[in-house]
Amino acid sequence: MSPRDEGLVVLVGLTGVGKSTAVHALLAAAPDARLLPNRRELADRIVIPEAQRAAGDPVGPVHDRVERFRLTARYRADHPGGLAHALARHLREAPDVDAPGLLLFDNLRGEDEVGYATRAFPDARFVALEAPVATRVLRLAGRRDAFDRVTGTPQADAALVERLAAVPGLADLTDLAALARAAAGLDPDAVTTGARVVAEESLHYDPEAAWAQLEPLPPHRRLRLDTARLDPTEVAAALLGWL
């Protein structure tokens, strides 16, 4: 039996794209909506323990973001769909999912998870949130305004550029000097940590490939928003209009 997915709204997006804004807007629009256990909760309860057991490792909490990505990838290798597989399992087992009202899940990522979800939940709706790599790094480092709205042209800190250049794969994703200029005044450690998270995540999840899984769906089932071009009020308005 497939899990109940009528009324299910799934957020799709990588770290730092503004999912919290979307969650607040959706919950405000639908007072009877219920927020399902989020990605982190399902990973802690289902994905990470199973991946650890499969590898013969001790089962226990994992807080390092990069290690969590790797364990999630290991689970996905054994269970096509990854977190979407875990979500389907939760919806089969949860006692109250058949109650009326909106079900909101935060979130799925990448081609495999999203493709699996479109097949497993044929009535679900999907909101794809996107933002440039540099925007996401800055958000993780503590800045809340979008990268392309930073004013002024400070000099790039050479030491920060050097640290960013040492993050594997980051130079292929964004202009390091421009990122260092935009990060002026932020804690270099926070910027570097955010860069490591974003770069590692890019090894496992491709937002364009995820959208390619959603694009064939009818418009009432998929929405795509660029949160670097839309402020939180505009994101909320777009979501409410779509619902």
Residue 192 lies in a domain: no
Residue 235 lies in a domain: yes
The mean per-residue pLDDT over the stretch 92-99 comes to 73
Residues in a beta bridge with 34:
103
Residue-wise pLDDT for 99-156, tens only, equals 667 899 999 999 999 999 999 999 999 999 999 999 999 999 985 443 333 334 556 7
Residue 172 lies in a domain: no
Tell whether the model's pLDDT for residue 21 goes beyond 90.
no
Domain extent at residue 17: 8-144+206-242
Residue 195 lies in a domain: no
Residue 167 lies in a domain: no
CA distance 150 to 148: 6
Lowest mean pLDDT among 88-97, 165-174, 222-231: 88-97
Note whether 152 and 37 are within 8 A (CB).
Answer: no
CATH code of 33's domain: 3.40.50.300
Residue 55 lies in a domain: yes
| Share of the chain residues as helix, strand and coil, in percent rounded to the nearest 5 | 55, 10, 35
Residue 119 lies in a domain: yes
Report how many domains make up the chain. Answer: 1
Question: What global pTM score does this model have?
Answer: 0.87
Residue 135 lies in a domain: yes
Backbone angles phi, psi at 206, to 5 degrees: -115, 110
